Structure 1
Amino acid sequence: MNLRLSLTGLLGALLLAGCSDRPGEPASEPASYPVLWELTNAEGEIEGWLFGTIHALPDGVQWRSAVLDEAVAAADVLAVEVAALDDGVKLGELFTRLAFDGSSGASGPPGPLAARVDPALAEQYQELLTTAKVRRSHFDAMETWAAALTLAQVAQQAKAENGVDRALIRDFAGREIVEFEGAETQLRIFDDLPETEQRDLLNAVIGETEDYERDIGKLARVWQAGDAEQLSELTGEGILADPELYEALLAGRNRAWAAQLENLLSARAKPFVAVGAAHMFGADGLPALMEARGYTVRRIQ
């Protein structure tokens, strides 16, 4: 169920599903909102905020609140995974360069993608190809990780232009915006995975498409309701139950981000941190890591 908690936001792949049971259906005023944390120092002074986002949404989703808007207004700097999300041409060129450069964990030409797919998932793979309206050989020259992300984009129905990250970047126009990774660093995380892990990623993408329609509403409600307990459970399921992928896609990145965030805090700027929701929960989540570094992390929404 939780592939959309783990994949990169680039190319429109989801960290969480959209916040409507049917894409495009206007949402009513929510009774609750996604989780927002406040960071304070030993003197009780506010140092910054942590907010778990989703990178694509259907139209009409209402995720803002007065508490969130106050934090955004008070922040000095926005910290995101990737800042240049609207530069589709540049992102596309970067993706193409890495997807076909042969530098990933595979040895030799990748060969037919169908041969890299678990035979038990052959029917679902064909359904994705039909949805994408491409030939069976379309992905054969592509590295496995890149095919996985592209197929994830095919499966998802929410709109990247409605993503929370993009909205917050617009909110911070005229203020400083910093990247924890940037597009190339983020994609190279996938590109550097061993081929065995890339195939695990590919098969997870294909396998989860069968339940996409059933799960999209549930995931949306969990995120919008701010159900931290369920979100924490989801970050340890599915593809993130694989120790190598968990380390590469989540835990290792979180440790690097926590170090960068501490540097931001030492500069006395008040950062509003907006990264994928999967990075916020559990023992390896950013709130837990910042508590371990001596900050007080308090949920304010």
Structure 2
Amino acid sequence: MRIVRQVLLAAIGVLGLHAVHAADSVPTCPSAPQPVAQAEATAGMRTARDRGFLWRLEKDGRTSWLYGTIHVAKRNWMYPGPATRRALHDADSVALELDVLDPAIAAELSTAITARADAPPLPAGLARRVQAQAAAACLGEGLGRMRPEMQVMTLAVLSGRARGLDPAYGIDVFLAGYARGLKKAVVSLETPAQQMSLLLSDDPAEVAQTVEDVLQSLESKNAGPQLDRLAGAWDEGRLADLENYADWCECLDTPERRKSYDALVIGRNPSLARHVADIHQSGHSVFAAVGALHMVGPQGLPMLLAALGFNVERVFFASPRMGGQSASDARP
């Protein structure tokens, strides 16, 4: 469950990244993400290749699209490749889990992740361990303004910075801005309240358990490699690697963790699928971009949308290793 929670909250955490990054004057500290200049963006779009997972959805004579994203990415991964751009241009609207560029949603998320004044403090031992991890990650005082579970999840997500992975370059955030540039309607498939009810708790025991879980991953140095593998599977379109996520993530090894994963990922899929279907059936084609872990298995979004009457066909991208289609992911 650790990596799932970390990735789900990455797009939310990006709202506070500039507040928590320490000054860049310490040589060993990773630099804060820098704004993308126009020349860099133009070059990035010109040379971008397709990444991630794309499906074509056909129903009632219209075509919509389903795209599996990742919320923590490398800087040059932000730019959609040719096939993804064509789908974006062809769709009437873009649907995201949450449109974090919507000021109302951003404000609601910011309030939700801010530490409650009346919340009991973490046990002293846990608080010291969080502070030690924050110092090692070169994060500033802004981290302490977040709820405790948000603090450790932000630390876990930022553990990918050494590998160039940063939520500031999250695919969903870029798509939200790109859609606005195309004058497309941007739709949120969920509400902040829906997501926060699954991700955060007011029960001190549950908060402490989440903090302990993520700290163990950070202290064992597992968080970075696991995030790296998840990102690599997205980069190279290895859907089979995500289908086997439970075998390597070291996060679904207890009934409690499996239950949390089912709620955080599988349990949200029916509502997400219905919302995508409703937009399409209203007469508007949609490019729906949702985290890639929602795409796998019999309860993944492609299968659920097929059950709702869509003809679902995966669009295969050229493999960066093979120079052609991915041979390992032959199923739609």
TM-score relative to the length of structure 1: 0.74
2:14 to 12, 15, 18: 12
> CA 1:207–1:32 in 2, change beyond 3 Å: closer, same or farther?
farther
Pick the aligned partner of 2:170 from 143, 147, 163: 163
Q: 1:199 to 1:248 in 2, by over 3 A?
A: farther
Question: How far apart, in 1, do the equivalents of 2:106 and 2:297 lie?
Answer: 36
Kept after mapping to 2: 8 A contact 1:128/1:154: no
Matched, 1:227 2:238: yes
> Among 263, 267, 287, which residue is 1:252 paired with?
267
Alignment match, 2:89: 73
> Is 1:33 aligned to residue 45 of structure 2?
no
Assess if the C-alpha contact under 8 Å between 2:53 and 2:69 holds in 1. no
Larger helix fraction of residues: 2
CA distance in 1, matches of 2:133, 2:186: 36
Deviations 1:38-76 (A, max 9, x none): 1122x6x44311111122323233652221111101101
Contact 1:37 1:297 (8 Å CA) reproduced:
yes
Return closer, same or farther for 1:32/1:171 CA change in 2, 3 Å cut-off: closer
For structure 1, the 5+ residue unaligned runs are 14-21, 103-108
Distance 1:129 1:168, change over 3 A: closer
Q: TM-score, with normalisation over the residues of structure 2?
A: 0.68
- SS of the counterpart of 2:75? coil
Aligned mates of 2:65, 2:88 — CA distance in 1: 9
Structural RMSD (CA):
3.8
Q: Deviations over 1:169-209 (max 9, x none)?
A: 12222221110123343223223486555445333422333
- Structure 1 residues 122-163: Cα deviation after superposition (integer angstroms, max 9, x where no partner): 87x56413225579xx86x97553343333344342333322
Compared CA separation, residues 254 and 194, structure 1 to 2 (3 A)? farther
Q: In 1, Cα distance between the equivalents of 2:209 and 2:293? A: 19
* Pairwise CA distance, 1:280: 1.4
Residues 38, 48 of structure 1: 8 Å contact kept: yes
> How many equivalent pairs are there?
275
User: Aligned to 2:251, what secondary structure does the other structure show?
Assistant: helix
- Mapped pair 1:288 → 2:303: yes
Distance 1:32 1:177 in 2: 22
Contact 2:56/2:315 (8 A) holds in 1: yes
Moved over 6 A (4+): 29-32
Q: Map 1:154-193 to 2 at 5 A.
A: 154-157=158-161, 158-173=165-180, 174-192=183-201
Is residue 3 of structure 1 aligned with residue 3 of structure 2?
Answer: yes
Tell me if the contact between 1:131 and 1:154 (Cα under 8 Å) persists in the aligned partners.
no
Whether the 8 Å contact between 1:36 and 1:300 is mirrored in structure 2 is yes
Higher relative contact order (CA 8 A, sep 6+): 1
Ranges in structure 2 where 5+ consecutive residues have no aligned partner: 16-29, 34-39, 317-332
Whole-Å Cα distance in 2 between the matches of residues 56 and 93 of structure 1?
Answer: 19
Structure 2 CA distance for aligned equivalents of residues 142 and 11 of structure 1: 10
* 1:86–1:230 Cα change, 3 Å: same
Deviations 1:198-247 (A, max 9, x none): 44533342233312444454333211111111012116744355232113
For residue 49 of structure 1, give the secondary structure of its aligned residue in structure 2: strand
Deviates more, 1:83-92 or 1:252-261: 83-92
Q: Tell me which residue corresponds to 1:90.
A: 107
Identity %, equivalent residues: 23
Q: Secondary structure at the match of 2:8?
A: coil
